[in-house]
């Protein structure tokens, strides 16, 4: 029995340090791999940032341009109402807004959901303004009458329908950069 106890003690003298070294090595290797993973993840994010950041900036620029183009005063200057009936001009304005929006719809991928909702809301406000103003005109009105009434409405409310969205987009760009 004494020999067996001595054998166990000798075995523990050899095994215990080996177990301690193995456990220590396990934790060191694990920590090394975790750190290596974090470094690689950081490098990947940095490379992604180098590629995605310019694309996001371009998306915000395009959306700001969209908002500027559908701002009633700019839209009316760009799409003249001379020679149109109010009904024709109404259709032309709505078609222009729809085309502008559809052309830039893919930019929502690079924006926050809140920013894109602001853009959609601004578009809807402009469309509603044009529709409401058109419905208030007499049946035989000209395109210039519609344009004049839209501008009068904007001036009387003292706020373009796109102002809030444009401000939000600019604020979000400032946070990104």
pLDDT tens-digit map of 34-74: 999 999 998 888 887 777 788 888 999 999 999 999 999 99
Q: What proportion of the chain, given as a percentage, has pLDDT over 70?
A: 99
Q: List the chain domain ranges.
A: 2-176
Q: How far apart are CA 60 and CA 79, in angstroms?
A: 24
116 CB neighbour count, 10 Å cutoff: 18
Q: How far apart are CA 177 and CA 174, in angstroms?
A: 5
- What pLDDT band is residue 15 in, cutting at 50, 70 and 90? confident
- What pLDDT band is residue 4 in, cutting at 50, 70 and 90? confident
Mean pLDDT, the chain, as a whole number? Answer: 90
CB-CB contact of 169 with 115 (8 Å): yes
Does the pLDDT at position 122 exceed 80?
A: yes
pLDDT tens-digit map of 65-116: 999 999 999 999 998 878 889 999 999 999 999 999 999 999 999 999 999 9
User: With left for phi above 0 and alpha for psi between -120 and 50, is residue 79 left, alpha or beta?
Assistant: beta
């Amino acid at each position: 029995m004494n020999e067996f106890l001595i054998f166990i003690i000798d075995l523990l003298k050899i095994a215990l340090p080996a177990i301690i070294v193995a456990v220590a090595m396990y934790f060191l290797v694990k920590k090394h791999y975790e750190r290596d993973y974090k470094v690689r993840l950081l490098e990947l994010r940095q490379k992604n940032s180098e590629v995605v950041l310019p694309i996001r900036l371009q998306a915000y620029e395009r959306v700001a341009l969209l908002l500027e183009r559908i701002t009633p005063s700019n839209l009316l200057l760009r799409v003249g109402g001379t020679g149109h009936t109010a009904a024709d001009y109404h259709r032309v304005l709505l078609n222009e807004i729809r085309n502008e929006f559809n052309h830039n719809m893919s930019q929502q991928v690079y924006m926050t959901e809140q920013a894109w909702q602001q853009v959609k809301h601004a578009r809807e406000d402009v469309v509603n303004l044009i529709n409401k103003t058109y419905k208030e005109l007499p049946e035989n009105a000209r395109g210039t009458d519609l344009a004049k009434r839209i501008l009068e409405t904007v001036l009387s409310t003292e706020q373009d329908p796109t102002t809030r969205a444009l401000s939000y987009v600019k604020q979000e760009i400032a946070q990104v950069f």
